[in-house]
Amino acid sequence: MGWIEILDRAEVVTDKHHIRGSTGGGEIRRAPNLVPLRITCLPNDQDKMFKLSDKILLLCVGEAGDTVQFAEYIQKNIQLYKMRNGYELSPKAAANFTRKNLADYLRSRTPYHVNLLLAGFDETDGPGLYYMDHLSALAKAPFAAHGYGAYLTLSILDRYYRPDLTRDEAVDLLKKCIEELNKRFILNLPSFSVRLIDKEGIHDLEKLMPVGAK
């Protein structure tokens, strides 16, 4: 048993736009022995979301250091594409580009241990959410989650997600997920930052605090 690292996020996609939620902070590590030697709660405002372009967001979690390194590498490459060609990569192309890179590094001596969610809005295809894990498996999904929180939230999303959710309904669904985490999850996750992508671009919504959290 090693350190347990908890980083939670949940994401909801509707026909018109995306909402992704992730924890604003709340990283807790627990030592391997039965009696916990150290419990450190570091509520920091670490933003795990990387803006790849005006309409594409990348949420990157996993091994410390790998996340930022890989995400920034992808981010700069996507921006380079735009500078070279004058137009941006579509979310689907960006997701596949990310996947190819992750896959290539996976089969080298220096793999990146990161889990990703990529969300974007395409002019022709509309909103899209791409789930990618550290083994470079890519799937386009209506909703997705990574981490221990996924065990709890995916069932909520399964139950209440509909393809024709409105924006407010999607935010409500996200709140439901967070309530569930607050109720059932052992760790206290004080706040979640939420971003929305629609045809106008990326918008910051208000931070979600679970009721009863400190």
Partner 1 sequence: MSGKYVFSTSVCRLYQVEYAMEAIGHAGTCLGILANDGVLLAAERRNIHKLLDEVFFSEKIYKLNESKSRYIIYNIVETYGIPFLPSHRYLLQYQEPIPCEQLVTALCDIKQAYTQFGGKRPFGVSLLYMGWDKHYGFQLYQSDPSGNYGGWKATCIGNNSAAAVSMLKQDFKEGEMSLSSALALAVKVLNKTMDVSKLSAEKGVYRDTCIQSAWSMQHMQQC
Contact positions toward partner 1, by CB under 8 A?
Answer: 85, 87, 89-90, 92-93, 96-97, 100, 124
Minimum CB separation from partner 1 for residue 75, in Å? 16
Is 108 or 124 the residue whose CB approaches partner 1 more closely?
Answer: 124
Q: How far is the CB of 91 from partner 1 (least distance, A)?
A: 11
Q: Which is nearer to partner 1, 103 or 213 (CB)?
A: 103
Q: In the Cβ-directed half-sphere of 199, how many Cα atoms lie within 13 Å?
A: 6
Q: How many whole angstroms separate alpha carbon 6 and alpha carbon 42?
A: 12
Cα(111)–Cα(117) distance, integer angstroms: 18
How many CB atoms are located within 10 Å of the residue 178 CB? 27
Q: Identify which of residues 98 and 153 has a Cβ nearer to partner 1 in the complex.
A: 98
What 8-state DSSP symbol labels residue 212? T
For the CB of residue 125, give the shortest distance to partner 1 in the complex, in Å. 10
CB of 138 to partner 1, least distance (A): 9
**Residue 90 vs 153, nearer CB to partner 1:** 90
- On the 0-12 / 13-18 / 19+ scale of CB atoms within 10 A, 153 is buried
